[in-house]
Amino acid sequence: MKSFLSTFLILISFTAFAQTNNKMEQRKAKIQSMETQGCNEDLTQLKAASMAYCQSKEVPVIESLPCIESENEVVIRTKDEIIKRAMALLYLGLKSEGVEKKTLDRVDATYDIRPNFSSVELKYVDAENPDRQQQVNANWRYESLHVLLWALGYVEELRYPANVCDVKTDVGIIAQRSLKIFTEQAKLRSKKEILDQADLIYRLHWAVVNARIKGEESPAKLNSSVVYERHYVLNWLINYMNQDWDDVSTDT
């Protein structure tokens, strides 16, 4: 029995390693493809616009950073998917602030949230005493929620990511509406608008990561955590590598 258990655990570990390694190879292949495919005229203009914006804010850029996928290649998440994800992130944020369980249960019932949680999120949602890191990670998801509210037309613009979002205002956007009304009033932004932001955050995130590698502060007052969350959710929105929420990568 002991021998079987040891073998079983080894097999599980090997399988997990193989899956992780496979994902890394897929991401590597994706990046290489982006680097070699070149840019069509529209993507060249998009890249140029993003770089010009970065330069206007004194954010470092590199010409060699490739273009993202074109409108023809990208399939944006549906309005229904985005709304469900927004509700899940709302719950995570509220729990991270210490909102009592009976209130969270009421929010869950009002917006039918539980079916929307990812497997990783469920571990936090069901934890009676989540650790500090879980709380911090959940709280930062307010920044992802902010982007989703923008994508649904509830937030007018995504401002330069130097400061955190206005959580009270964002939560209020949802709280003052039933799920039905929230869904009816949501107006999904165009693919072009979403891709514009995806390309821009890709380049802003490169600048943040490059500074961190050099042991420097984030350039031009960029908030590295805000940039990361924004890049994460925008990659999810554009179905980057068809990854589920827990597996979204932010390759730079």
Q: What is the structure's pLDDT at 69?
A: 87
- Mean pLDDT, residues 223-233: 98
Tokens, residue 113 = 């949230």
Residue among 30, 62, 43, 67 nearest 209 (CA): 62
pLDDT of residue 212: 97
CB burial of residue 223 (10 Å; 0-12, 13-18, 19+): middle
What's the rounded mean pLDDT across residues 225-239? 98
pLDDT of 1 reads 41
Amino acid (one-letter) located at 96: S
Containing 104, the helix (H) or strand (E) segment is helix 101-111
Mean residue pLDDT across the chain: 89
Q: How far apart are CA 160 and CA 174, in angstroms?
A: 23
Instruction: Write out pLDDT tens, residues 17-48.
Output: 444 455 545 444 544 454 445 577 778 999 99
76 three-class SS = coil
pLDDT cut 90: percent of the chain above it:
80
Instruction: Enter the DSSP assignment of 78.
Output: P
pTM for the model stands at 0.85
- Residue 168 C-beta-side C-alpha neighbours within 13 Å: 0
Q: Is the dihedral of CA 74, 81, 224, 189 positive or negative?
A: positive
Coil, helix or strand at residue 36: helix
Using pLDDT thresholds of 50, 70 and 90, give the confidence band for residue 70: confident
Q: Which pLDDT belongs to residue 191?
A: 96
pLDDT, tens only, 137-180? 999 999 999 999 999 999 999 999 999 999 999 999 999 999 99
3-state DSSP percent of the chain in helix, strand and coil, to 5: 70, 0, 30
CB 165 within 8 A of CB 143: yes
The set of residues, in sequence order, having a beta carbon less than 8 Å from that of 228 and lying 6+ positions away, is 205, 208, 250
Lowest mean pLDDT among 39-53, 71-85, 89-103, 105-119: 39-53
How far apart are alpha carbons 42 and 229 in whole angstroms? Answer: 26
**What confidence score (pLDDT) does residue 5 get?**
40
